[in-house]
Amino acid sequence: MRENLHRFFRAARGAGVKLSPAESIDAMRAVSKVGFADRTILRDTFLLTLAKTQDEKKALGDCFDLFFDQPAPQSPPENDKADEQDSSGSNSTSESPGDASGGDEQADGLGQLAQMLLAQDRNQISAAIANAASAASLSDIRYFTQRGIFSNRVLEQMGIERLRDDLDHLTATNPGLAERLTNALDGLRGTVRETVSQALLLYGREEAENLRNEILANAPLSRIEPRQVEQMRRLIRQIARRLRERYSKPRKRQRRGHLDVRRTIRRNAAWGGVPFLTAWKRRHRDRPRIVALCDVSGSVARVSDFFLLLIHSLHEVVDDVRSFAFSGHLIEVSDILEAKSPEEAMAEIMSKVGFGSSDYGNSFDDFEHGWMSAITPQTTVIVLGDARSNNLDPRADILRRIAERSKRLVWLNPEGRMAWGWGDSEMPRYATFCTVVRQCATAKQLERAVSDIVASYQ
């Protein structure tokens, strides 16, 4: 049973439940108290000790049902041909496979697997599959691409080599029996394939998802296919949540608990130094302020979509974020981002200023006239754009003034460094005024950039 528990833990990890050894020890202690007798109590116990969120509880519950409702060794192999012959075979259900094929002299020379298949003893076959599966460490399966490998391994463990020899031999000597055996083998293959698929379902989900996320995180945002957009959104939301967990709120905390000796003595001077009033140390922090200018013109629309999504989530981490979007001219979008759901906000912003051809000079001009006062010496200004201004006046002078007023000016460019300065790219001219210039084309780079920005306020 202990082995079974471990397999269940592995399955739980596969289902996406994060399990540390400490938790599995707790679960085992808990199980030792409640026993295995009552299935619902056992289920509750696992849900209580292992799952830490609602989502995990659901995943774990499903996993529990899948795991405990289908004890692999008992499930009959789904084999139509076997079923047809079953009536004759299972009537003489007997312990030894040699007995079942007793009428056949040929069978004596056959390997164990062949005898078992001919005997049509389902219980024995599924037990053999279960054994072979554990010998082939089937629970290590992680990716769907491994299905073939593991199927072969299981079959090897069952002795398919010997079976092939037997088949070769039988085709020459006893074609009828050989045909029966071939059919039975096909059935076996099907059953094994199914066992492997189920194991993949149990043990493989998380890794597969991680792999997909990993690929997605490193894929260029501008070239995400439509069907991946939703996944990407989810990924960005995950990133935002990570950032939020890491950076939320600490700025509001005041350090109290340490006596400020100097102030205490000064304050109590009137009583001859007898300290009636105590004074406490406090720590002051920067209040993060972020002003984000986001290019939403046609060429970078998709990237800025994701960027706006992240800014949207940033509103929860940093209280003072003001966001602006522009292509030909610039508008403030803070309210839209605050009030609406990400999707609605995105759609509205895009319909207002999106998809035009970009005019950085004009947009900077709009900003200087309308909102320059939003920038204080505590502000980090983030510009997201490819700096392609269609050969219009780049107005780098305004950017210089923005840089002078602000604490930092960060430029995130979705284009690769190689492209900067070529064609109508004004990046080199702008870069001279920026504190940091980053390429920011994938979700991973986006996360790192934003994380750096927020971390500098900690």
Partner 1 sequence: MAENGPSASIEAVERGLAAQGYIASRQIATAVYLAQQIEKPILVEGPAGVGKTELAKAIAAWRGLKMIRLQCYEGLDEAKALYEWKYAKQLLYTQILKDKLGEVLGGAPTLEAALSQLHDFGDVFFSKEFVEPRPLLQALEQPAGCVLLIDEIDKSDAEFESLLLEILSDFQVTIPELGTVVAVSPPTVILTSNSERDLGDALKRRCLHLHIGFPEQKLEERIVESRVAGISQTLRKQMVSFIHEVRTLDLKKLPSVSETIDWARVLVLLQASELGHEVVKDTLNVLLKYEADIEATMPQVSTFIAKASRQNAFG
* Length of the chain counted residue by residue: 458
Single residue of 4, 6, 29, 357 touching partner 1 by CB under 8 A: 29
Bridge partners for 150 per DSSP: none
| Closest approach of partner 1 to the CB of residue 247, in Å | 10
Q: How many residues bind partner 1 (CB under 8 A)?
A: 44
Single residue of 52, 223, 282, 285 touching partner 1 by CB under 8 A: 52
* Complex with partner 1: residue 22 or 418, whichever CB lies closer: 22
Does position 2 interact with partner 1 (CB under 8 A)? The reply is no
| Closest approach of partner 1 to the CB of residue 312, in Å | 18
Gyration radius of the chain over CA positions: 34
Does position 45 interact with partner 1 (CB under 8 A)? The reply is yes
Q: Which stretch binds partner 1 (CB under 8 A): 106-114, 217-225, 241-249, 319-327?
A: 241-249
CB neighbour class for 439 (10 Å; exposed up to 12, middle 13-18, buried from 19): middle
- Rounded Cα distance between 61 and 160, Å, is 37
| Closest approach of partner 1 to the CB of residue 157, in Å | 36
* Complex with partner 1: residue 172 or 270, whichever CB lies closer: 270
Does position 249 interact with partner 1 (CB under 8 A)? The reply is yes
How many other CB atoms are there within 10 angstroms of residue 71's CB atom? Answer: 11
Single residue of 30, 301, 331, 419 touching partner 1 by CB under 8 A: 30
| Closest approach of partner 1 to the CB of residue 48, in Å | 5
Does position 254 interact with partner 1 (CB under 8 A)? The reply is yes
Single residue of 15, 17, 51, 294 touching partner 1 by CB under 8 A: 51
Binding pattern for the stretch 266-305 against partner 1, x by CB under 8 A and - elsewhere:
-------xxxx-x---------------------------
Q: Which of 349, 367, 250, 345 is nearest to 297 (CA)?
A: 349
How many other CB atoms are there within 10 angstroms of residue 276's CB atom? Answer: 9
Single residue of 76, 176, 250, 428 touching partner 1 by CB under 8 A: 250
Which contacts qualify for 413-419: CB closer than 8 Å, 24 or more apart? 413/384, 413/385, 413/386, 413/387, 413/437, 413/438, 413/439, 413/440, 414/220, 414/221, 414/222, 414/300, 414/303, 414/384, 414/386, 414/439, 414/440, 414/441, 415/386, 415/439, 415/441, 416/441
Does position 57 interact with partner 1 (CB under 8 A)? The reply is yes
Q: Which of 362, 408, 366, 346 is nearest to 383 (CA)?
A: 408
Does position 33 interact with partner 1 (CB under 8 A)? The reply is yes
Q: Which stretch binds partner 1 (CB under 8 A): 171-179, 249-257, 301-309, 430-438?
A: 249-257
Single residue of 211, 259, 339, 372 touching partner 1 by CB under 8 A: 259
* Complex with partner 1: residue 222 or 268, whichever CB lies closer: 268
Between CA 128 and CA 135, with CA 129 as vertex, the angle to 5 degrees is 90
Antiparallel, parallel or unpaired: β 408-413 and 289-295: unpaired
Single residue of 4, 6, 38, 343 touching partner 1 by CB under 8 A: 38
User: Under DSSP, is residue 414 helix (H, G, I), strand (E, B) or coil?
Assistant: coil
Q: Which of 27, 36, 25 is nearest to 60 (CA)?
A: 27
* Complex with partner 1: residue 40 or 87, whichever CB lies closer: 40
| Closest approach of partner 1 to the CB of residue 27, in Å | 10
- Rounded Cα distance between 50 and 53, Å, is 9
Q: Which of 402, 407, 451 is nearest to 430 (CA)?
A: 402
Single residue of 7, 10, 16, 23 touching partner 1 by CB under 8 A: 23
Q: Which stretch binds partner 1 (CB under 8 A): 5-13, 19-27, 395-403, 423-431?
A: 19-27
* Complex with partner 1: residue 273 or 377, whichever CB lies closer: 273
Does position 226 interact with partner 1 (CB under 8 A)? The reply is no
- Rounded Cα distance between 114 and 129, Å, is 14
- Rounded Cα distance between 209 and 143, Å, is 9
| Closest approach of partner 1 to the CB of residue 169, in Å | 55
255: left (phi over 0), alpha (psi -120 to 50) or beta: beta
Does position 241 interact with partner 1 (CB under 8 A)? The reply is yes
Binding site residues, partner 1, CB under 8 A? 18, 20, 22-23, 26, 29-30, 32-35, 37-38, 40-41, 44-45, 47-49, 51-54, 57, 241, 244-245, 248-250, 252-257, 259, 264, 273-276, 278
